[in-house]
C-alpha cells in the first residue's frame, strides 16, 4: 500500500485523510474538534497548541500499519489566521482567526497610511479587510507591544503546522496572498505596504521565505515522526489555505469551473492563468497553490445562519431540511440577512443578523428555515456576479462543505446561481486536496513535471447521482428575490459598515 496524507486544520476541527494513490481510495480518515474563543467585540481566537493536539488525536485514531505507509504529507489550514512566534518557534499569543472582526480600526489606519483603497487595489491587488492577516499584526502592535517586540516570525495556521512537522519556516503564494501583504501580480511581498505597517521595524525579516507551490516545505523531522507515528524524512508539500487546497480537491485547477463551499464560511472561487483583480474589491485577488491565481469571494456567515435557525426551531438536520422544503422558492418574501458574525463581503464589521419582509401571511417557520438556506447562496451570488462582470464564463459549480450534503441546498444553489451543480465523490475537499498536492510534490521530486491537472484529472471523481440542474421557474423567482435581498443590504450599509 502506498499512501499520501492530507491534514486539514479548520475553524471547527482538524481532519486527517490517508489516500492510497495506486488504488485511488481513502484508506483511513479521522477528525478532532477545536474550541473557539469568542468575545462580543468580534474577537475569534484559538490556541495553536489545540491544532497540534488535534493532529495527534487524528493520527492516533489511524492504525499504525497505515501510518507507516505514508510517503508524503500535505497541509491545509484556515486562511488569514495570525500566528506570531518567537525565535524558538514558541507561539506568543492566541491566534486571531479569519472570522475575527475586532481589527476594523487597524484596517482603516493601514489603508490610510498606504494612500487609500484605490492605491491598494492598483499596487497590491487586495484591500486591507478585517479578515486578512495584516490588520491583526497591527492590532498586536497596538494592544500588546511587549509581545510584538518579541515576535520573530509571522506565520499563518498551515505555515505553523508545516514548521511543526519540518522545522522550516516557509510560505507559498496562495496562502500568503491572504495576508494582504503580497503583491498579487508579481507574487512577492509588497515592501511599501509592509513599511506602512511598521515604519520603525523591518517586518520583512519576520515573513518566511516564499517558495513555489510545487516545492516542498521540508521533510518530517524525527521529533514529529515520533510524536505522530509517521515516517521520518518524507516530504511535506508547500500546503496552502483551505480554499486553495479545496480547489485541488475538487479539480478547480483550470478555467471554467467554479467551486463553492458551504461551511461555517461560504466561498466561491475559480482558477485563472492570469491575475484577476476586481476593481470593486468584491473578489479577493488570491493566488492559487498550484502556480496560478484563484479569485475568490468569502462570506463569514454561511451555515452559521442555518445552524442558528435550526437551534431556534429545535430541529435536527433532517427535520430542518424537511421544514424548509415545505416552503416555496423565495420563502414567500421572507428574507434573511445572515450577518451574525459581522461580515467580510460585504464589508460589514458591525453587521447583525436580520429577518425582513415578514407580514401576517408569511411569518411561518418553514419560510424562516428556507430563508436561512437561501441567504447563504444569495451572499455567494455576489461573487458569481463579480466573476461574470470580469469576463469569467463558468460552466458549472462544484459544491463542497457541510451544506453540500443537503439535496435541498444543492437545488437552491443551482436555482439561485442558474448553473448546474455537481458534487465530488470525495467531499473532504481541503484534506483531499492537501493529499493530492503532496502526491504532486512527491512526483516532482522524482522528476515528473506534469501539471497538477494531470493529477486531479486522474483522482478527482464526480458523483453524477447527486448533481442537479436549475429549474427555470425557480430561477425566475430567485432573480426577483435576489434583487429585493440586495436592496435590503444596500439600505443597511450605513448601519453595518
In whole numbers, what is the pLDDT of the chain averaged over residues?
96
* pLDDT of 76 above 90: yes
User: Which structural domain, as residue segments, surrounds residue 49?
Assistant: 3-242
- Cell numbers standing for residue 178: 491572504
In the predicted structure, residue 280 carries a pLDDT above the cut 90: no
pLDDT the model gives residue 472 = 95
Q: Is the pLDDT of residue 497 over 90?
A: no
Q: Give mean pLDDT, residues 486-493.
A: 95
pLDDT tens digits, 214-245: 999 999 999 999 999 999 999 999 999 999 99
Query: Taking 90 as the threshold, does the pLDDT of residue 349 lie above it?
Result: no
181 & 216 share domain: yes
Residue 61: the pLDDT is 98
Handedness of CA 200, 193, 133, 212 (dihedral sign): negative
- Whether residue 433 is contained in a domain is answered as no
| pLDDT higher than 90, residue 168 | yes
Asked if the model's pLDDT at residue 347 lies above 90, the reply is no
Residues 131 and 261 in one domain: no
**pTM for the whole thing?**
0.91
Q: Which residue in this structure is represented by grid cell 525579516?
A: 205
472 and 396, same domain (yes or no) = yes
CATH of the domain at 392: 3.30.420.40
Q: What is the DSSP letter of 208?
A: P
- 68 has a pLDDT exceeding 90: yes
Residues 84 and 11 in one domain: yes
* pLDDT for residue 69: 98
Domain count, the chain: 2
Question: Could you say which of 242, 276, 307 is where a domain stops?
Answer: 242
- Helix spans in 144-288 (H): 145-150, 157-166, 173-176, 191-197, 222-228, 242-250
β-pairing verdict for 266-270 and 293-299:
antiparallel
Residue 179 reports pLDDT greater than 90: yes
pLDDT of residue 417: 97
Examine the pLDDT at 81 and tell me if it is beyond 90: yes
**CA–CA gap between residue 251 and residue 248 (Å, rounded):** 5
Segment 329-352 mean pLDDT: 93
**Do the Cβ atoms of 147 and 202 come closer than 8 Å?**
no
* Residue 271 and residue 139 share a domain: no
DSSP for 455-483? HHHHH--EEEEEEE---HHHHHHHHHHHH
Task: Specify the pLDDT at position 325.
Answer: 97
State yes or no: is 242 an active-site residue. yes
pLDDT tens per residue, range 422-456 = 999 998 999 999 999 999 999 999 999 999 999 99
- Note the pLDDT of residue 264: 83
Mean pLDDT value of segment 18-41: 96
pLDDT greater than 90 at residue 265: no
Task: Report pLDDT for 108.
Answer: 96
CB distance 398 to 423 below 8 Å: yes
pLDDT at position 404, please? 93
Of all residues in the chain, what percent carry a pLDDT higher than 70?
Answer: 100
Share of the chain above pLDDT 90, in %: 91
CB 271 within 8 A of CB 293: yes
Asked if the model's pLDDT at residue 183 lies above 90, the reply is yes
Produce one character per residue of 212-225: b if its CB has 16 or more CB atoms within 10 Å, e if not.
ebbbbbbbbbeebb
Q: Within 10 A of 497 (CB to CB), how many other CB atoms are there?
A: 13
Alpha-carbon span 482 to 488, nearest angstrom: 10
**pLDDT given at position 487:** 97
Please give the C-alpha separations between residue 355 and each of 3, 336, 362, 367, 375, in angstroms, as whole numbers.
Answer: 48, 4, 12, 11, 10
Read off φ and ψ for residue 287, nearest 5 degrees: -90, 160
From the candidates 100, 242, 278, 321, which is the catalytic residue?
242
Q: Are residues 234 and 119 in the same domain?
A: yes
Amino acid at each position: 500500500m502506498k499512501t499520501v496524507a492530507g491534514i486539514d486544520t479548520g475553524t471547527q476541527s482538524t481532519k486527517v485523510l490517508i489516500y492510497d494513490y495506486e488504488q485511488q481510495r481513502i484508506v483511513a480518515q479521522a477528525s478532532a474538534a477545536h474550541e473557539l474563543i469568542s468575545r462580543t467585540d468580534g474577537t475569534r481566537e484559538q490556541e495553536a497548541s489545540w491544532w497540534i493536539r488535534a493532529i495527534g488525536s487524528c493520527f492516533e485514531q489511524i492504525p499504525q500499519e497505515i501510518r507507516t505507509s505514508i510517503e508524503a504529507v500535505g497541509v491545509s489550514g484556515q486562511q488569514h489566521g495570525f500566528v506570531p512566534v518567537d525565535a524558538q518557534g514558541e507561539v506568543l499569543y492566541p491566534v486571531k482567526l479569519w472570522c475575527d472582526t475586532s481589527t476594523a480600526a487597524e484596517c482603516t489606519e493601514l489603508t490610510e497610511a498606504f494612500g487609500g483603497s484605490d492605491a491598494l487595489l492598483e499596487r497590491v491587488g487586495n484591500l486591507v479587510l478585517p479578515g486578512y492577516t495584516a490588520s491583526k499584526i497591527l492590532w498586536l502592535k497596538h494592544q500588546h507591544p511587549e509581545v510584538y517586540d518579541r515576535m520573530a516570525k509571522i506565520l499563518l495556521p498551515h505555515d505553523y503546522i508545516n514548521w511543526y512537522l519540518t522545522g522550516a519556516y516557509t510560505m507559498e503564494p496562495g496562502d500568503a496572498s491572504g495576508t494582504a501583504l503580497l503583491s498579487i501580480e508579481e507574487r512577492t511581498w509588497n515592501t511599501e505596504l509592509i513599511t506602512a505597517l511598521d515604519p520603525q521595524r523591518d517586518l520583512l525579516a519576520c515573513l518566511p521565505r516564499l517558495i513555489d507551490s510545487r516545492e516542498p516545505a521540508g521533510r518530517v523531522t524525527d521529533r514529529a515522526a515520533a510524536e505522530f507515528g509517521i515516517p521520518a524524512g518524507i516530504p511535506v508539500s508547500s500546503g496552502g489555505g483551505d480554499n486553495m487546497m479545496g480547489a485541488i480537491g475538487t479539480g478547480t485547477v483550470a478555467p471554467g469551473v467554479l467551486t463553492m463551499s458551504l461551511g461555517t464560511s461560504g466561498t466561491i472561487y475559480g482558477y485563472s492563468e492570469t491575475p484577476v483583480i476586481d476593481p470593486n474589491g468584491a473578489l479577493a485577488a488570491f493566488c492559487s497553490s498550484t502556480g496560478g491565481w484563484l479569485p475568490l469571494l468569502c462570506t463569514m456567515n454561511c451555515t452559521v445562519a442555518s445552524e442558528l435557525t435550526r437551534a431556534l426551531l429545535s430541529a435536527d438536520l433532517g427535520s430542518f431540511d424537511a421544514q424548509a422544503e415545505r416552503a416555496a422558492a423565495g420563502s414567500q418574501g421572507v428574507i434573511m440577512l445572515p450577518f451574525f458574525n459581522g461580515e467580510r463581503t460585504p464589508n460589514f464589521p458591525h453587521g447583525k443578523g436580520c429577518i425582513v419582509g415578514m407580514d401576517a401571511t408569511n411569518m411561518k417557520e418553514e419560510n424562516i428555515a428556507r430563508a436561512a438556506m437561501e441567504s447563504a447562496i444569495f451572499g455567494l451570488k455576489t461573487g458569481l456576479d463579480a466573476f461574470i462582470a470580469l469576463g469569467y464564463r463558468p460552466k458549472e459549480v462544484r459544491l463542497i462543505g457541510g451544506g453540500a450534503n443537503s439535496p435541498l441546498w444543492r437545488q437552491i444553489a443551482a436555482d439561485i446561481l442558474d448553473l448546474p451543480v455537481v458534487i465530488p465523490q470525495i467531499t473532504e475537499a481541503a484534506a483531499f486536496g492537501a493529499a493530492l498536492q503532496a502526491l504532486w510534490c512527491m512526483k516532482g521530486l522524482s522528476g515528473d513535471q506534469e501539471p497538477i491537472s494531470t493529477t486531479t484529472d486522474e483522482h478527482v471523481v464526480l458523483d453524477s447521482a447527486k448533481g442537479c440542474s436549475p429549474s427555470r421557474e425557480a430561477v425566475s423567482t430567485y432573480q426577483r428575490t435576489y434583487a429585493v435581498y440586495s436592496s435590503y443590504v444596500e439600505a443597511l450599509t450605513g448601519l453595518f459598515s
